């Protein structure tokens, strides 16, 4: 502290050319100096802290004004001594301004003096140059901070970190994208498979429905009409006809309004034939889907169905047709005991 | 007066010419600017105190800038660049404030 004080005070004689005269009135107007002193009193502390860049003062100053330095330092202890008695005068401020013309300049006056008559001295030029550099740097910095993203002012390591983070993020997102794409293609293929399976299932359902008699069927085939006016046709004759037709490749058969399927049974006596428990009255009309060229000869073979029926004096008519509709239906029945063994 | 003109000229040039700063210097520019500001405030205070010396000012200005940049550079090399530059800014800020207080006392007498 005290070591810093000395350059502060020893600095005072810096403008030593003028102060030579300024110091003179100091003695008489010691109280004026006191006013300055009182104000500056708190400063040396800050000066100690803040004037470090000026420390070279210690080196540079003593070389030049060595003499005044020594003459000044003894002065300092003197000043406080005359001061205390004059402390009661409550006009240090006003009196500080009075000797301004002659006494040591106040800071304000120095500022005004330095500002207004613009002198072209070496010091001014150098300071101007440095301040110009400072302004340049300031403007550049403000500009670069303002006009672009936060990345511009960022340090190298920060940039590297940010870049790393972005890379990681990109990788993560790409991974996720790949995963989602895989999922999408999987779902698409599975939905394709599902659609395919459904199509096949529907086809199969249609086929099975035709076999089980749960859906109507149509196609080429024959129509066989057996008129039994005398009531001589028995159930087994109808069954024979059915067997013959099946052997010839009949795919869907209906007699009057009864669909003939795998579990169809014939019962009853001649003239009162029942099929699946339903009474069927003559004439018996067979609607048969299959290949007509196969079905008709199968019925007409010698000793076959037609001949047997005619022997019983029943009227038999066989007609080929390209469009036979088998529309008698049976309800789908769920088997109580039989289960598919493939499941 | 001429010094103030110099400052204004520098700012204007910097704003309108848009000089390109080499990337090597870029990270040290803000710290250097703050250090230079500190030197300027110190110089202004010295002027108000009547102890201004251009030689001291030049030396303190340049050494402030160089030392500040050096500290940051060293911090970068040691991996504590951000913390060190914060420290430098804090120290310089404290000095600027105390200098500003002294200047204020001179100018406003309060």
Is pLDDT of A15 > 60?
A: no
A28, A102: one domain: yes
B99 falls within a domain: yes
Q: Which domain holds residue A61?
A: 2-117
Q: Any chain A CB within 8 A of the CB of B20?
A: no
Interchain pair B81, A157: CB under 8 A: yes
pLDDT digits (tens, 9 = 90+) for A105-159: 676 777 777 677 767 777 788 888 888 888 888 888 887 776 656 666 667 788 8
DSSP single-letter state for residue A99? G
pLDDT tier for residue B49 given thresholds of 50, 70 and 90? confident
Each residue's pLDDT tens digit, A261-317: 888 888 887 778 888 888 888 788 889 999 888 888 888 888 888 888 888 888 888
Contact B19 A136 (CB under 8 A): yes
Same domain, A109 and A35: yes
Kindly state whether residue B10 falls inside one of the protein's structural domains. Answer: no
Q: B22 at the A interface (CB within 8 A)? A: no
Confidence of residue A183 (pLDDT cuts 50, 70, 90): very high
Query: Is residue A287 domain-shared with residue A316, that is, in the same domain?
Result: yes
B102 is a domain residue: yes
Q: Using 50, 70 and 90 to split pLDDT, how confident is the model at A103?
A: low
Residue A237: both structure tokens together:
């004759």
Domain check: are A7 and A65 in the same one?
Answer: yes
A32-70 pLDDT, tens digit each: 343 333 333 344 444 434 444 443 333 333 333 333 333
CB contact under 8 A, B10 and A131: yes
Mapped to the 3 state alphabet, what secondary structure does A13-63 carry? CCCCCCHHHHHHHHCCCHHHHHHHHHHHCCHHHHHHHHCHHHCHHHHHHHH
Whether the Cβ atoms of residue B57 and residue B95 lie closer than 8 Å to each other: no
Structure-model confidence comparison of residues A295 and A104, the more confident one: A295
Question: What average pLDDT score do residues A99-104 get?
Answer: 46
Q: Pick from B71, B107, B103: which is nearest to B86 by CA?
A: B71
Binning pLDDT at 50, 70 and 90, where does residue A28 land?
very low
Q: Is the pLDDT of residue A188 over 90?
A: yes
Place A189 in a pLDDT band, splitting at 50, 70 and 90: very high
Q: What is the mean pLDDT of chain A?
A: 71
Rounded to whole angstroms, the maximal C-alpha distance in chain B is 46
> Which residues in B9-35 are b (16+ Cβ under 10 Å) and which e?
ebbebbeeeeeebeeeebbbbbbbbbb
What is the pLDDT, as a whole number, of residue A104?
63
Does the CB of B8 have a partner CB in chain A at under 8 Å? yes
Residues 53-72 of B with CB under 8 A from A: 53-61, 63-64
**Does residue A222 share a domain with residue A208?**
no
Count other Cβ atoms within 10 Å, centred on residue A318: 19
Q: With contact defined as beta carbons under 8 Å apart, do A98 and A36 qualify?
A: no
CB A322, CB A219: distance < 8 Å = no
User: Domain limits at B103?
Assistant: 23-108
Q: For residue B72, is it within any domain?
A: yes
Please name which of A241, A202, A200, A247 lies closest in space to residue A224, comparing C-alpha atoms: A241
Closest of A218, A341, A342, A225 to residue A289, by C-alpha: A218
In a domain, A143, yes or no: no
CATH number for A239: 3.30.70.1880
Do residues A187 and A242 share a domain?
no
Structure token digits, residue A100: 């301004």
Q: At which of A194, A212, A230 does a domain end? A: A212
Domains held by chain B: number: 1
For residue A343, what pLDDT is reported? Answer: 63
pLDDT in the model for residue B98? 93
The angle formed by the CA atoms of residues B95, B99 and B103, to the nearest 5 degrees, is: 170
- Chain B residues inside the 8 Å CB shell of A137: 10, 14, 29, 32-33, 36
pLDDT at A105: 65
pLDDT for the residue numbered A1: 39
DSSP A295-312: HHHHHHSTTSHHHHHHHT
Q: What percent of chain B has pLDDT over 70?
A: 99
| pLDDT score of B31 more than 50 | yes
**Is the pLDDT score of A209 beyond 60?**
yes
By the 8 A CB rule, do B18 and A143 touch?
yes
pLDDT at position A234:
82
Token pair for A114: 């330095």
Q: Is residue B47 within 8 angstroms of chain A, CB to CB?
A: yes
Specify whether A251 is located in the same domain as A265. Answer: yes
Q: How confident is the model at residue B9 (pLDDT cuts 50, 70, 90)?
A: confident
Residue B100 in domain = yes
Q: Is residue A139 one of the residues assigned to a domain? A: no
A325: its two tokens: 């509709």
Max distance between CA atoms of chain A, in angstroms, equals 171
Q: Which of A250, A219, A252 is nearest to A321 (CA)?
A: A219
Region A197-216 average pLDDT: 89
User: Which region among B18-22, B34-38, B82-86 has the lowest average model confidence (pLDDT)?
Assistant: B18-22
**Count of domains observed in chain A:** 3
User: Number of H helices and number of E strands within chain A?
Assistant: 14, 8
Mutate to test the interface with B, among A39, A134, A155, A159 (most CBs of B within 10 A): A134
Whether residue A145 is contained in a domain is answered as no
Residues A222 and A311 in one domain: yes
Interface with A, mutate which of B53, B59, B75, B84 (most A CBs under 10 A):
B53
Q: Is residue B12 part of a domain?
A: no
Residue with the bigger pLDDT between A270 and A101: it is: A270
**How large is the average pLDDT for residues B32-48?**
88
Task: Tell me if B8 is assigned to some domain.
Answer: no
Q: Would you call A216 exposed, middle or buried from its count of C-beta atoms within 10 A (0-12, 13-18, 19+)?
A: middle
Task: Say whether residue B73 is in contact with chain A using an 8 A CB cutoff.
Answer: no
B4 domain-assigned = no
Between CA B60 and CA A183 the distance in angstroms is 68
Decide if A327 contacts A216 (C-beta within 8 A).
Answer: yes
**Is A122 contained in some domain?**
no
The predicted pLDDT at position A144 comes to: 74
- Is A137 part of a structural domain of the chain? no
Q: How many residues does chain B have?
A: 110
A257 and A176 in a common domain:
no
Roughly how many angstroms between the first and final C-alpha of chain A, as a whole number?
Answer: 101
Same structural domain, A200 and A234: no
Give the model's pLDDT for residue A102.
43
């Amino acid at each position: 502290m005290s070591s810093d004080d000395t350059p502060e005070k020893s600095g005072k004689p810096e403008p030593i050319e003028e102060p030579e005269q300024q110091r003179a009135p100091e003695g008489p107007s010691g109280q004026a100096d006191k006013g300055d002193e009182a104000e500056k009193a708190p400063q040396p502390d800050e000066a100690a802290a803040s004037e470090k860049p000026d420390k070279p003062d210690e080196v540079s100053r003593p070389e030049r004004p060595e003499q005044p330095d020594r003459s000044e330092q003894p002065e300092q202890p003197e000043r406080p001594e005359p001061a205390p008695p004059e402390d009661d005068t409550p006009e240090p401020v006003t009196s500080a301004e009075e000797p301004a013309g002659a006494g040591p300049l106040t800071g304000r006056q120095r500022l005004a003096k330095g500002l207004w008559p613009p002198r072209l001295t070496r010091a001014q030029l150098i300071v101007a140059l440095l301040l110009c550099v400072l302004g340049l740097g300031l403007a550049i910095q403000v500009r670069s901070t303002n006009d672009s993203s936060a990345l511009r002012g960022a340090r190298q390591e920060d940039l590297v970190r940010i870049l790393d983070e972005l890379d990681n993020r990109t990788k993560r997102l790409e991974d996720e994208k790949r995963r989602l794409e895989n999922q999408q293609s999987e779902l698409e293929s599975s939905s394709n498979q599902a659609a395919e399976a459904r199509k096949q299932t529907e086809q199969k359902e249609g086929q099975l429905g035709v076999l089980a008699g749960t859906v109507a069927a149509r196609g080429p085939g024959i129509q066989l009409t057996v008129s039994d006016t005398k009531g001589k046709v028995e159930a087994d004759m109808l069954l024979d006809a059915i067997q013959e037709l099946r052997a010839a490749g009949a795919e869907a058969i209906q007699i009057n309004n009864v669909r003939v399927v795998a579990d169809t049974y014939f019962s009853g006596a001649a003239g009162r034939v029942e099929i699946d428990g339903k009474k069927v009255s003559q004439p018996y009309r067979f609607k048969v889907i299959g290949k007509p060229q196969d079905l008709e000869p199968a019925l007409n073979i010698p000793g076959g169905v037609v001949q047997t029926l005619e022997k019983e004096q029943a009227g038999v008519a066989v007609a080929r047709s390209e469009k036979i509709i088998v529309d008698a239906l049976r309800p789908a029945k769920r088997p109580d005991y039989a289960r598919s063994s493939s499941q | 007066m001429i010094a103030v003109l110099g400052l204004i000229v520098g700012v204007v040039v910097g704003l309108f010419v848009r000089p390109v700063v080499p990337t090597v210097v870029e990270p040290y520019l803000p710290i250097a600017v703050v250090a230079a500001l500190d030197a300027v405030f110190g110089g202004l205070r010295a002027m108000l105190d009547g102890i201004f010396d251009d030689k001291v000012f030049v030396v303190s200005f340049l050494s402030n800038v160089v030392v500040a940049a050096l500290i940051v550079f060293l911090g970068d090399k040691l991996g504590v660049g951000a913390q060190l530059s914060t420290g430098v800014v804090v120290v310089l800020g404290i000095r600027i404030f105390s200098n500003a207080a002294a200047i204020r006392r001179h100018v406003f007498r309060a």
